[in-house]
Amino acid sequence: MAGRMVRSCVQTALKAVNSVVGLAGMAVILYALWMLRAWYREADGLHQRLPVPWFIYTFLGLGIFLCLLTCSGHIAAETANGHCLSCYMIIVFVLIILEGAITADVFLNINWEEDFPPDPSDKFNEFKDFVRSNFEICEWVGLSVVAAQVLSIVLGMVLRTLGPDREADYDSDDDANVPARLPLLRNQSQHGPDYAEPNTSRRNDSWKLRILDKVRVVSGVN
């Protein structure tokens, strides 16, 4: 009982922490859709075909990836399956490594902007200006997302150690087997100790008839 309560608490905590990553993904998707709408509106005003804005599509793909990761994390938390939890933790760990590498490149490399291709939509520069003007807010948001990812890995490891709830499976199997046993118990309770099966009575009658026939044959010979 205590193990089941602990497992339920860990599952709830993992879902809650995983929801933070999902909210971040939804925010990124909305921001990317807003930039994409402004970009296509600008392209319609110029009446010419502009190159593909890689920054907008990268942001959109990142948001979709975070939402899919959140869905897989909820499934892994609900089922408490070891393989699902392992895959989820590996993906989150790789994502944290990539985020750390990009952050280190931005802070340690002076010419980090040269590592990215030119953005025709100029939304990349707008995003940089927004981050610089709201650096403290962006810093807290980034740290919150990273902390949620780290906590999701820790909670996933704890849940994987606890394993799935096998007691519930045993209870459900027992409940499923009870109705199959009830008819037998009812039949036994309905029939008394003197009850005889129809096939048994028929066999006894045929045996008596054979004995009578043999007696008649012997008496006729005498």
pLDDT surpasses 60 at 124: yes
How much is the average pLDDT of 51-65? 87
The pLDDT value recorded for residue 48 is 62
- Rounded to an integer, the average pLDDT of 154-158 is 92
Domain boundaries, the chain: 1-162
Q: Is the pLDDT higher at 173 or at 55? A: 55
User: Model-level pTM?
Assistant: 0.70
Q: What is the CA 128 to chain-centroid distance, rounded?
A: 35
When the pLDDT of each residue in the chain is averaged and rounded to a whole number, the result is 78
Does the CA dihedral 174-175-180-185 come out positive or negative? positive
The packing angle between helices 54-79 and 123-133, to 10°, is 60
Instruction: Please give the biggest Cα pair distance in the chain.
Output: 130
* pLDDT over threshold 60, residue 172: no
Checking if the pLDDT of 112 tops 70, the result is yes
Q: Round to whole Å and give the CA distance between 14 and 16.
A: 5
Average pLDDT of the residues in 2-12: 84
Closest among 106, 84, 82, 102 to 94, alpha carbons compared: 102
CA distances from 77 to 10, 23, 82, 148, 152 (A): 8, 17, 10, 15, 10
CA dist., res. 103 & res. 123, Å (int)? 19
DSSP characters over 20-67? HHHHHHHHHHHHHHHHHHHHHHHHHHHTSPPPP-HHHHHHHHHHHHHH
